[in-house]
Structure 1
Amino acid sequence: MYGKVAIYLTLAFTFLISCSIYLGTVDLRSYFFPVQPAPHSLCATGRPLRVYMYDLPRKFHVGMMGRRYSKESGPVTMENLPPWPARAGVRRQHSVEYWLMASLLYNGKGGEEREAVRVSDPATADAFFVPFFSSMSVTTHGHNMTDAATEGDRRLQVELLEILRQSKYYQRSGGRDHVIPMTHPNAFRFLRQQLNASILIIVDFGRYPRTMATLSKDVVSPYVHVVKSFTDDDPLDPYENRTTLLFFRGNTVRKDEGKIRVKLAKILTGNNDVRYEKSVATPSNIKMSTKGMRLSKFCLHPAGDTPSSCRLFDAIVSHCVPVIVSDKIELPFEDEIDYTKFSIFFSMKEALEPGYLVNQLRQFPKDRWVEMWKRLKQVSHHYEFQYPPKEEDAVYMIWRQVKHKLPGAQLAVHRNRRLKIPDWWRRKK
């Protein structure tokens, strides 16, 4: 009798285990095959992020900065890195890729603390940086899909994907630990979906489907500001020193949410303490915008072609309190920086209500504005892109954001390794 009970129990147990294996709730491979333990979180170690940078031909990066640099041979180093052109104008806003590459080329002779360092051995890397100037490729090889010159941008994307797919490190992770900057709204537009596993450096999610770009894996970067930073902003009475209440200067013909700019022009016209001016980004107009922001208490930031625009970061380095009009903007470094301490937010509906926005700003308490102005002066260095890089500047902050995203990517890599049947087991069978 007891023997029959034991047999029935054994059969029942075997049946349950079989069902669990079939349904995927039990994975016997984790018992019989060695599992590589996940490393400690990079954020907890305190050490710099170790980054391997692909050695790509110059046509993918500095070759786009001028014929002189495209004809030179050999790798780009700290000694021969071309300086960012002083007269680049509005193109500067899409130069994040350049400053990230430059930060890895800098060897840190000064001994300053760094968030990321370049390693020559990919086997020791935490992350892999792909130095393709995808944003500059858009502005260099044509602006719209029908330009004949745009074919040059498409060819570079095709060639880069071929290089990555031949890399064993890209294959190992499926690109999850690879960092690829795409800050122009049309950057990598032809083959973008094929890189959706990588850590993308973007300025907002305006042109990305939800299946591709998410806050869980991607880094939101600031645009590179195009106005000069206000370094000597120390008047006795900063509130009274800024005589304009609200300032906006820029293109009013935009796409999608940016169409609000035309509507705002109609609402704000006629207010003596408001300057709302239509202009394009030329060197002389950038100088006028610099002066206007420095003489204004508030700087208006409506959406551009995408929810964000360079104007927000121009306002920050001008210490002009940003007035952000958006229902879905994503802001850089928001897990570390509280924007409500130096910015004011209005919904699209509120901004389009005649008189509402201006009246709110006119009633804004002076002491609260002064606190926001002081806070802008404290945080503006986080939005500076410079070479050599400095501690806590924009590049430093971006690499720290990458470090925060890596544990999720590393988890996926380790799971793939664990679930892959080892070669020695196949040979044994």
Structure 2
Amino acid sequence: MMMVGKTVLALVFSLILLITYSRFMGSVDLRSHFFPLLQSQLKDNIPCYTQSPLRVYMYDLPRRFNVGMMNRRSPDETPVTARTLPPWPANSGLKQQHSVEYWMMASLLYEGDSENETREAVRVLDPDSADVFFVPFFSSLSFNTHGHNMTDPATEFDRQLQVDILKFFRQSTYWQRSSGRDHVIPMHHPNAFRFLREQVNASILIVADFGRYPKIMSNLRKDVVAPYLHIVDSFVDDDPPGPYESRTTLLFFRGRTVRKDEGKIRAKLAKIFVGYEDVHYEQSLVTGESIKASSQGMRSSKFCLHPAGDTPSSCRLFDAIVSHCVPVIVSNKIELPYEDEIDYSEFSIFFSVKEALVPGYMVTQLRQIPKERWLKMWRLIKKISHHYEYQYPPKKDDAVNMLWRQVRRKLPVAKLAVHRSRRLKVPDWWGQRR
């Protein structure tokens, strides 16, 4: 009996010590100490924590800054709503590849369930409760609509819109509070906001390609790389009995071969690929028939070539992905969307410009890729291709939701810059270092 009493007393004493320790050092889950099996069973039934959507305040801009450019005959200047949002025009041609601004705005106008876990961002009407501020200025569409060169008289409309939006910013308490660092501005076309872009360079910019922006203006720490909207239709029923054998062309390219800057490689590749029966390399302009031919060619090819154009990136990469054709990327400077989440090396082949210009080198390397490796890349492309779909209403993990997730990850950098700027007494010495 004395032995049993001492055991009970020891257990009580240990329990008192544990409770006392937990009060001074923090909470202690007694179940994990005395009932480890029960604890493990409970953990299996605990739902995973889901991060709440990003809270976005969207400015109510007159329609001339956004959807008014889609129908310039309409005099309506009232801000667009979910009920008055026009669909993106089906006959917009190449303009649609830089329509990211439209889909981001549409996702915020969507009046679906705000508690829906599939949404990465929701619109809030109280600016004081917002995490970020979205500027629905269609700067890419403005470039495409109001003249493509500096001598076109219509170009003045593009310039005036930029002047007016900057005037609006200067009158905004929330812009002034952060110098625009917590503001999201789409500039997807390389020439978007071309006149006054330096005055908004502190903002979180949504761009297609860093190659056309100065380093002091855009960088991966604060900006987001957005995919082009693909031009070809998505391959929705790609499930043949022999996918490797059914794609009879080794390497496919169809597009403009006369380009500037790094894109000069296209003309050189045209000479290198002469004589290969399983390589299709063709000069082509964008027309309805050309798009259909490109779609068919990509769907019947194992690899699709993506050489740099006027900029390191282009729509062709995303056409290849939605066609489930393994991309072959030739560029020394390309930056890719969602690269903190997606490893492109798992489903793409990369060549430097120097490697690509060695006669026979690329074709030899592609022919040596085993069937098993190609099938693994093909299956992965099918699995991730929905990340490159822009659509309304938005869907889980589609392109626009992926972009809002990327914006959320840029916020710590934006907040750091805001907090530092509020206490600095001199110009930012860190940014001026050489």
1:81 paired with 2:85, answer yes
Where 2:250 maps in the other structure, the secondary structure is strand
1:150-174 Cα distance to aligned partner (Å, 9 max, x none)? 1111111111111011101000000
1:274 paired to 2:286: no
The aligned amino acid for 2:243 is P
| CA distance in 1 between partners of 2:219 and 2:204 (Å) | 10
* Alignment partner of 1:117 is 2:119: no
Deviation at 1:112, TM superposition (A): 5.0
d(CA) in 1 for partners of 2:422 and 2:278? Answer: 63
**Are 1:92 and 2:96 matched, yes or no?**
yes
Match of 2:324 in 1: 319
Which position in structure 1 is the counterpart of 2:270?
Answer: 265
Which protein, 1 or 2, shows the higher relative CO under an 8 Å CA cutoff with sep ≥ 6? 1
Give the Å deviation of 1:107: 1.6
Q: Give the alignment partner of residue 107 of structure 1, picking from 101, 105, 111.
A: 111
TM-score (norm 1): 0.86
Which range moves more in the overlay, 167-176 or 108-117?
Answer: 108-117
Q: Between the two proteins, what is the percent identity of the paired residues?
A: 72
Tell whether the 8 Å contact from 1:48 to 1:115 is kept in structure 2 after alignment.
Answer: yes
Instruction: Measure how far apart 1:362 and its partner are.
Output: 1.3
Distance between the aligned counterparts of 2:50 and 2:184, measured in 1?
20
Q: How far does the alpha carbon of each residue in 1:380-407 deviate from its partner, in whole angstroms, 9 at most, with x for none?
A: 0000000000010000000000000011
1:272-351 to 2 correspondences below 5 Å: 272-351=277-356
For 1:152 and 1:143, the matched residues in 2 are separated by 12
Structure 2 counterpart of 1:48, from 26, 49, 53: 53
Structure 2 counterpart of 1:248, from 229, 246, 253:
253
Q: Could you tell me how far 1:73 is from its partner in structure 2?
A: 4.3
1:57 shift after superposition:
0.8
1:135 equivalent to 2:146? Answer no
Q: Distance in 2 between matches of 1:310 and 1:242?
A: 22
1:14-413 equivalences in 2 (<5 Å): 46-68=51-73, 70-109=74-113, 111=116, 113-413=118-418
Give the counterpart letter for 2:360 in structure 1: G
SS, match of residue 210 in structure 2: coil
Q: Tell me the secondary structure at the aligned position of residue 71 of structure 1.
A: coil
Could you say what secondary structure the match of 1:117 adopts?
A: strand
1:105 maps to amino acid = L
Q: What's the offset of the Cα at 1:417?
A: 4.2
Q: Secondary structure at the match of 2:251?
A: strand
Give the letter aligned to residue 138 of structure 1: F
Amino acid aligned to 1:259: K
Cα distance in 2 for partners of 1:369, 1:358 equals 15
Deviation of 1:47 (Å)? 1.2
CA-to-aligned-CA distance 1:179-214 (integer Å, 9 cap, x gap): 000010100111111111000000111111111100
SS at match of 2:79: coil
**Distance of 1:113 and 1:375 partners within structure 2:** 22
- Aligned pair count reads 376
Q: Which amino acid aligns with 1:132?
A: F
Instruction: Return the alpha-carbon distance in structure 1 between the equivalents of residues 72 and 165 of structure 2.
Output: 21
SS at match of 1:337: coil
Cα displacement (A) at 1:45: 7.9
Q: Secondary structure at the match of 2:142?
A: helix
CA displacement 1:257-292 (0-9 Å, x = unmatched): 001000000101221101111111111111111111
The corresponding residue for 2:6 is none
Letter in 1 for 2:175: Y
Q: Distance in 2 between matches of 1:400 and 1:323?
A: 27
Stretches of structure 1 that go unaligned for 5 or more consecutive residues are 1-43, 421-429
Alignment check: 8 A CA contact 2:261 2:311 kept: yes
**Distance (whole Å) between structure 2 residues aligned to residue 190 and residue 359 of structure 1:** 46
1:412 Cα deviation after fit? 2.4
Partners of 2:119 and 2:380 in 1: CA distance: 24
Q: Is the 8 A contact 1:179 1:198 kept in 2?
A: yes
Q: How far off its partner does 1:67 sit?
A: 2.8
Could you list the per-position Cα deviations for residues 343-402 of structure 1 after superposition, in whole angstroms to 9, with x for gaps in the alignment? 000000010000100111111111100000000000000000000000100000000000
In 2, the alpha carbon distance for the partners of 1:270 and 1:372 equals 27
> Which whole-Å deviations, capped at 9, do the CAs of 1:25-82 have from their partners, x for residues lacking one?
xxxxxxxxxxxxxxxxxxx9811110011111101100110135x4234321111100
Which letter maps to 2:169? L
Residue aligned with 2:304, SS: strand
Q: Which runs of 5+ in 2 are unaligned?
A: 1-48, 426-434
What CA distance in whole angstroms lies between the structure 2 residues aligned with 1:146 and 1:244?
44
